[in-house]
């Protein structure tokens, strides 16, 4: 009987160990501080940034800007990004940061609403929460740091592709994830721009999602070309998507046959801008977006701003910034989107 009990007990132990292992939380795949768990910060304030996912040079530049700002301010930066661009993975990271009692969390949201319970919990615990680049809803944040006016970003890309395709033909959008607030907002503005009668001969045939993953963006581009043999242009409002599309169009010898524009990182797009596969594209400085978010987070922690309209603070080398209205929430605007073409891509490709 005792033997029987012991073997049952050991089976139980093995079982609980296995279950315990399989249910263990996935660890953060990017934590450039080298700190695990409750980091000792030597009395410094700790500011975390969570990007959409790893493997995106744009995200790395944004986090780099955040880190520069936080270090200028004497704080400690915690840089994080999950492997996959999902809300669930970000929620896990927010929970970890709450238990580490960080001072601020700046989030590039993988979903506008799904992060709300976790971010509210963070704010209830006294953590200052802001979003940047891809917003979370107004209830989930104190302020949003916006790279540029979404209306302009959306409309200008439709104007560009229309000019490139000579005013008529089928176009498609290659986006990031279907939940990404920033891309979805820009696509809404693209559709509004397309309502103008001057685009009556331009047909948006599909919005495809490459999820900001290189391979998926490549296969989605290939699928677009296959499903729409008359396709004349692709707008990719994501740095990962536009670079993948640039490669596919180059490899298939489609330069001049299928036009490409969108939002690209000069370092990744220079060869396609120079070759003419993408005649021109747009972006802003991702380092500055992160840097501005770093200063905004610090201003929230110090109480210089609370995130209400009219609040002002000095954002280091970017100078004075003001909090303005953004729907039912508030935002801080970085500036205007910038046009990259063969005349200037050379000077920017080494910068970001
Ligand atoms: C990708 C990301 C990012 C977006 C840029 C334009 O790198 O989706 O959030 O702002 O593209």
Residues enclosing ligand 1, CB less than 6 A?
52, 56, 58, 133-134, 176, 182, 212, 238-240, 263
Mean pLDDT taken over the chain: 91
**Same structural domain for residues 313 and 227?**
no
What integer is the mean pLDDT of 318-336?
A: 97
**Same structural domain for residues 165 and 133?**
no
**Same structural domain for residues 98 and 163?**
no
Residue 303: inside a domain:
yes
**Same structural domain for residues 157 and 246?**
yes
**Same structural domain for residues 204 and 276?**
yes
- Say how many Å lie between the CA of residue 285 and the centre of ligand 1: 11
User: What's CA 290's distance to the chain center, in Å?
Assistant: 11
**Same structural domain for residues 275 and 156?**
yes
| Rounded Cα gap, residues 29 and 205, in angstroms | 36
> Which pLDDT score, from 0 to 100, does residue 37 have?
38
Determine which residue's CA is closest to atom 11 belonging to ligand 1: 238
Q: For residue 212, which atom of ligand 1 is closest to its CA?
A: 8
Asked whether the predicted pLDDT for residue 133 surpasses 50, the reply is yes
**Same structural domain for residues 166 and 199?**
yes
Q: For residue 239, which atom of ligand 1 is closest to its CA?
A: 11
Determine which residue's CA is closest to atom 3 belonging to ligand 1: 238
Residue 119: inside a domain:
yes
Parent domain of 308: 37-147+286-334
- Say how many Å lie between the CA of residue 30 and the centre of ligand 1: 18
Residue 161: inside a domain:
yes
Give me the number of domains the chain comprises: 2
Residue 105: inside a domain:
yes
**Same structural domain for residues 210 and 234?**
yes
**Same structural domain for residues 143 and 51?**
yes
| Rounded Cα gap, residues 73 and 315, in angstroms | 10
CATH code where residue 83 lies: 3.40.50.2300
Q: Which of 111, 187, 210, 240 to mutate to test the pocket of ligand 1 (most atoms within 8 A of CB)?
A: 240
Asked whether the predicted pLDDT for residue 295 surpasses 80, the reply is yes
Residue 352: inside a domain:
no
User: What's CA 181's distance to the chain center, in Å?
Assistant: 9
What integer is the mean pLDDT of 283-300?
A: 98
| Rounded Cα gap, residues 296 and 306, in angstroms | 10
Which of 5-14, 316-325, 326-335, 339-348 shows the lowest per-residue confidence on average (mean pLDDT)? 5-14
**Same structural domain for residues 104 and 88?**
yes
- Say how many Å lie between the CA of residue 58 and the centre of ligand 1: 7
Q: Residue written as tokens 């996959």? A: 84
What integer is the mean pLDDT of 286-304?
A: 98
Residue 188: inside a domain:
yes
Residue 351: inside a domain:
no
> Which pLDDT score, from 0 to 100, does residue 42 have?
75
What integer is the mean pLDDT of 298-326?
A: 98
**Same structural domain for residues 87 and 127?**
yes
Confidence band for 3, pLDDT divided at 50, 70 and 90: very low
CB distance 263 to 237 below 8 Å: yes
Percentage of residues of the chain with pLDDT beyond 90: 88
- Say how many Å lie between the CA of residue 29 and the centre of ligand 1: 19
Determine which residue's CA is closest to atom 5 belonging to ligand 1: 238
- 253: region left, alpha or beta (phi > 0 left; psi from -120 to 50 alpha): left
**Same structural domain for residues 167 and 57?**
no
| DSSP letter string, 257-316 | TSEEEEB--HHHHHHHHHHTSSS-EEE--HHHHHHHHHHHHHHHHHTS--S-TT-EEE-G
| Rounded Cα gap, residues 251 and 245, in angstroms | 10
- Say how many Å lie between the CA of residue 8 and the centre of ligand 1: 54
Q: Residue written as tokens 């801080």? A: 332
What integer is the mean pLDDT of 59-83?
A: 98
Q: What is the bridge-based pairing of β-strands 324-326 and 329-335?
A: antiparallel
Helix or strand (DSSP H, E) at 321: strand 320-322
Residue 196: inside a domain:
yes
3-state DSSP assignment of residue 90: helix
Asked whether the predicted pLDDT for residue 217 surpasses 60, the reply is yes
What integer is the mean pLDDT of 176-194?
A: 98
């Amino acid at each position: 009987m005792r033997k029987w009990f012991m073997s049952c007990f050991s089976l139980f132990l093995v079982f609980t160990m296995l279950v315990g292992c399989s249910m263990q939380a996935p660890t953060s795949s990017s934590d450039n501080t080298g700190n695990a768990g409750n980091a000792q910060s030597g009395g410094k304030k700790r500011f975390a940034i969570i990007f959409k996912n790893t493997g995106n040079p744009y995200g790395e530049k944004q986090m780099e800007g955040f880190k520069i700002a936080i270090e200028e301010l004497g704080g400690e930066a915690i840089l994080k990004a999950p492997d996959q661009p999902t809300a669930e993975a970000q929620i896990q990271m927010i929970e970890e940061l709450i238990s580490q009692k960080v001072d601020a969390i700046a989030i590039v949201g993988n979903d506008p609403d799904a992060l709300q319970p976790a971010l509210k919990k963070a704010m209830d615990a006294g953590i200052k929460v802001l979003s940047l680049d891809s917003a979370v809803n107004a209830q989930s944040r104190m302020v949003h740091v916006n790279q540029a006016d979404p209306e302009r970003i959306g409309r200008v890309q439709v104007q560009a592709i229309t000019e490139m395709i000579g005013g008529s033909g089928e176009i498609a959008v290659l986006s990031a994830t279907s939940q990404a607030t920033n891309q979805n907002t820009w696509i809404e503005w693209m559709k509004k721009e397309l309502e103008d009668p001057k685009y009556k001969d331009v047909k948006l045939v599909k919005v495809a999602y490459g999820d900001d993953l290189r391979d998926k963006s490549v296969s989605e581009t290939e699928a677009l070309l296959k499903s729409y043999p008359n396709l004349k242009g692709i707008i990719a409002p994501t740095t990962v998507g536009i670079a993948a599309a640039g490669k596919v169009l180059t490899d298939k010898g489609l330069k001049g046959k299928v036009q490409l524009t969108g939002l690209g990182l000069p370092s990744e797009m220079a060869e396609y801008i120079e070759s003419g596969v993408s005649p021109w594209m747009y972006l802003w400085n991702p380092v500055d977006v992160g840097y501005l978010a770093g200063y905004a987070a610090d201003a929230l922690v110090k109480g210089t701003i609370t995130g209400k309209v009219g609040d002002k603070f000095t954002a280091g080398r970017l100078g004075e910034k003001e909090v303005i209205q953004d729907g039912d929430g508030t935002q801080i605007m970085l500036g205007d989107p910038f046009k990259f073409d063969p005349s200037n891509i050379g000077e920017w490709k080494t910068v970001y």
